[in-house]
Structure 1
Amino acid sequence: MDIQLFKAKYEVEECLNEIRECLEVGWTGMGFKTVKFEEAWKQYTGLPYAHYLNSSTMGLYMAVDILKEEYGWSDGDEIISTPITFISTNHAIAKSNMKAVFADIDDTMCLDPKSVRERITDKTRAIMYVGLGGNVGNYNEIVEICKEHNLKFILDAAHMTGTRLNGKIPGKEADVVVYSFQAVKNLPTADSGMICFKDGKLDEIVRKKAWLGINKDTYARTQNMGNYKWRYDVEYVGEKGHGNSVMASIGLVQLKYVDRDNAYRRTICGWYRDRLAPYADKIKFTRIEDGCESSCHLFQILVDDRDALIVALNQAGISPGVHYVANTDYKMYSYGKGTCPHAEYVSEHTLSLPLNLYLSRSDVDYICDEVIKFLEK
């Protein structure tokens, strides 16, 4: 028995056909398929702008960097964030010489609005909101807090591909949304991401900054038949952060199936909840907000002896995960240690059970049997 936490499932023949077209045309870099994927993504999400990048980590870096520059934020200014996230979220703040101020989470695993309000100071410039596991948490209340205090809203939607709130994909309320198409995400490629600014001017800037600051990308220059198509200017000291057409080819195919796949993930989560519900005195589930149709990237439980349960599951051929160790445990964010007691409790007690599209009902029953066996000892 070997049940993996994540295992990407691809529409292999369709992906190969899309990639083959890149190889036959002889264009595997930025442009061609990346442009098509950006257009498909805007149509799917309803967001006005989308730029395809080599990772969501790059997207988060670009988001903070561009907002800081455009709105005149200073080194040491603050962005309120969560300690329960992958490290990319808070590194994006630190790399722009700003300070991540950690607010606590609630039982949705997302930022607690009450804690967020308590952290706002005259140096606060934005809220970085993570939809952990595909949940929206108290999203609308965070939007209102941003409006009340004139704060920018950055949505780290790495887990939220396909999530809907009251039937609509959230993000139009945010100043910028960043998605992940990393290898084990709900819409997997080898690695890539999408950054979606609300403001068209900022979309123009990210297209330059993600291509080393160059104001014409290579693909655009091939479309220009003038004598000076080789000439460009460099407007910023940028990054090489753009996506490529091979990864975009995979993304174009997987996007067609993401809602179908997410529906099966929700079914799996329902099986888990049904089997484990009688043990509510020993297990806590993540609360899903009313109106949230989660992408269900994760299925998390809280248990007293998390580490021992991991060992027991490993011995049974099951590979769970932890999402996440509180970032305040890392030396660069240790100044926040002790400020978010619920997040620290979650960090010590949370466990992600396997959630991939290859799981059957019998697989889930087997996993639950092993969890129950542990709990009943």
Structure 2
Amino acid sequence: MTIQVLKPKYHVEECLNEIRECLEIGWTGLGFKTVEFENKWKEYTGHENAHFLNSATVGLHLAVEILKKENGWENGDEIITTPITFVSTNHAVLYEKLVPRFADVDEYLCLDPEDVKRKINDKTRAVIFVGYGGRVGQLDKIIKICKEHNLKLILDAAHMAGTRVNGQMPGTWDGVDVAVYSFQAVKNLPTADSGMICFQNKKYDEICRKLTWLGINKDTYARNSGTKGSYKWKYDVEYLGYKDHGNSIMAAIGLVELKYLDETNEYRRELARCYNEMFKNEHKIQIIGAPHADECSYHIYEIAVDNRDSLLEYLQENDIYPGVHYRDNTEYEMYSYDNGKCPNAHIMSNRIITMPLHMYLTKDDVKMIAGKVIEFVNAQ
């Protein structure tokens, strides 16, 4: 049996029942379950605003676009961001003709506050903080820096569904202007693909809802609800918008999986503790730690080793398929202008390896996987 790095596990019958309800009433698009999911997400997280989207990628773009338009940013202004992330984080900046300015990462593979301060200049308008693997990193220090320099803060919370600090979701902290979550297929709260954008500012949430429905100021579900009369079909188009909203089929799955998110995250933490116990005395293996580990979502579990690529091959030979999250983005041609300016990110990008971590794994599986890693590194 092969072991994959990430693998979603659904509560199939419950999901099918929720989806069946959509099919039976004939409403699978925007509205109905999407409204219900937004409300449940706000209740779960404490966010005051939440808009369901077809992906976290579009959420990041919308976050940048709205903050740019509403705050008078100009083309060529800069957003400080991380090189250790999926490219969608930094593409969102380029979409709006802004410049991603890369800062280095800390021991958690999150933004290093000291390097962020060094990268601030008169063109800096915002910071994007990626909660790598669900880790909160030094987000509190980043918030303080943003307040001191009057910068907006975007929290890329793609990995952070269910992460808390002392019981509170980091996306709701004072100083976070917008948080974007992912419910893509292998995330902790899996659908097929979807996301949620949560603005602190109600006005921005209202603008976002129009932008995600082609700029139209009244969605189809709203026009089919409430007061009768032909006028309800009349609407205005206020923005050149997109087709970015989520649908009720994805929301139906999300509603089910949200009920189990805390339970599944706790199991992820148990598996992470098992890995930690296996690796703790191995000096050739660096565990990527997590502050507030007892409340971390642990979307991914990372270690760093020398000869990483050889370890990948060795594990694959044993039917174990780990991953790499992520390649230093400044190694990509479009971001190469900052190559060499984030030395720790560059080093770690060539050493990190993502261990399998999902709900199909047992602790015995983890011990076997860790044993193979230890066997390899000690043979070097």
Q: TM-score, normalised by structure 2?
A: 0.98
Kept after mapping to 1: 8 A contact 2:322/2:356: yes
Secondary structure in structure 2 of the residue aligned to 1:325: coil
Shift of the 290–260 alpha-carbon distance from structure 1 to 2, 3 Å rule, reads closer
Aligned partner (choices 215, 228, 244) of residue 225 of structure 1: 228
Give distance in 1, aligned partners of 2:79 and 2:97: 11
Give distance in 1, aligned partners of 2:289 and 2:124: 28
Structure 2 unaligned spans of 5+ = none
Alignment of 1:357-372 (within 5 A): 357-372=359-374
Per the TM alignment, residue 292 of structure 1 is displaced from its structure 2 partner at its CA by 6.2
Per the TM alignment, residue 163 of structure 1 is displaced from its structure 2 partner at its CA by 0.2
Per the TM alignment, residue 246 of structure 1 is displaced from its structure 2 partner at its CA by 0.2
Kept after mapping to 2: 8 A contact 1:104/1:343: yes
Secondary structure in structure 1 of the residue aligned to 2:14: helix
Give distance in 2, aligned partners of 1:13 and 1:290: 34
- Identity value in percent: 58
Asked if 1:199 is matched to 2:183, the reply is no
- 1:167 alignment counterpart: 167
Kept after mapping to 1: 8 A contact 2:285/2:304: yes
Kept after mapping to 2: 8 A contact 1:52/1:192: yes
Asked if 1:47 is matched to 2:47, the reply is yes
Per the TM alignment, residue 287 of structure 1 is displaced from its structure 2 partner at its CA by 2.1
Asked if 1:132 is matched to 2:132, the reply is yes
Aligned residues: 376
Per the TM alignment, residue 225 of structure 1 is displaced from its structure 2 partner at its CA by 1.7
CA deviation string 1:226-251 (max 9, x = no partner) = 22111111111111000000000000
- 1:338 alignment counterpart: 340
Kept after mapping to 2: 8 A contact 1:104/1:342: yes
Per the TM alignment, residue 288 of structure 1 is displaced from its structure 2 partner at its CA by 1.5
Output the amino acid matched with 2:158: A
Alignment of 1:290-329 (within 5 A): 290=292, 293-329=295-331
Secondary structure in structure 1 of the residue aligned to 2:154: strand
- 1:99 alignment counterpart: 99
Kept after mapping to 2: 8 A contact 1:166/1:291: no
Structure 1 unaligned spans of 5+ = none
Asked if 1:2 is matched to 2:2, the reply is yes
Kept after mapping to 2: 8 A contact 1:30/1:244: yes
Give distance in 1, aligned partners of 2:332 and 2:297: 29
Output the amino acid matched with 1:179: Y
CA deviation string 1:269-314 (max 9, x = no partner) = 00001011110x2011112224761100010000011000000000
Shift of the 204–145 alpha-carbon distance from structure 1 to 2, 3 Å rule, reads same
Output the amino acid matched with 1:251: G
Give distance in 2, aligned partners of 1:213 and 1:168: 34
Output the amino acid matched with 1:122: D
Asked if 1:189 is matched to 2:208, the reply is no
Asked if 1:150 is matched to 2:150, the reply is yes
Give distance in 2, aligned partners of 1:219 and 1:15: 22
Give distance in 2, aligned partners of 1:276 and 1:41: 36
Output the amino acid matched with 1:171: G
Per the TM alignment, residue 25 of structure 1 is displaced from its structure 2 partner at its CA by 0.5
CA deviation string 1:336-370 (max 9, x = no partner) = 10000000011111000000101011111110111
Per the TM alignment, residue 179 of structure 1 is displaced from its structure 2 partner at its CA by 0.2
Give distance in 1, aligned partners of 2:351 and 2:103: 19
Shift of the 83–292 alpha-carbon distance from structure 1 to 2, 3 Å rule, reads farther
Give distance in 2, aligned partners of 1:262 and 1:139: 21
Secondary structure in structure 2 of the residue aligned to 1:310: helix
Give distance in 2, aligned partners of 1:149 and 1:359: 45
Secondary structure in structure 1 of the residue aligned to 2:321: coil
Kept after mapping to 2: 8 A contact 1:162/1:259: yes
Kept after mapping to 2: 8 A contact 1:177/1:196: yes
Kept after mapping to 1: 8 A contact 2:3/2:356: yes
Give distance in 1, aligned partners of 2:131 and 2:202: 24
Aligned partner (choices 227, 244, 249) of residue 246 of structure 1: 249
Give distance in 1, aligned partners of 2:260 and 2:185: 16
Alignment of 1:259-278 (within 5 A): 259-278=262-281
- 1:28 alignment counterpart: 28
Kept after mapping to 2: 8 A contact 1:167/1:291: no
Secondary structure in structure 2 of the residue aligned to 1:171: helix
Shift of the 155–13 alpha-carbon distance from structure 1 to 2, 3 Å rule, reads same
Secondary structure in structure 1 of the residue aligned to 2:4: coil
- 1:63 alignment counterpart: 63
Give distance in 2, aligned partners of 1:153 and 1:291: 23
Per the TM alignment, residue 253 of structure 1 is displaced from its structure 2 partner at its CA by 0.4
Secondary structure in structure 2 of the residue aligned to 1:301: strand
Kept after mapping to 1: 8 A contact 2:269/2:294: no
Give distance in 1, aligned partners of 2:189 and 2:232: 35
Q: TM-score, normalised by structure 1?
A: 0.99
| Greater displacement, 255-264 / 230-239 | 230-239
- 2:356 alignment counterpart: 354
CA deviation string 1:78-132 (max 9, x = no partner) = 0000000000000000100000000000101100000000000011000000000
- 1:210 alignment counterpart: 212
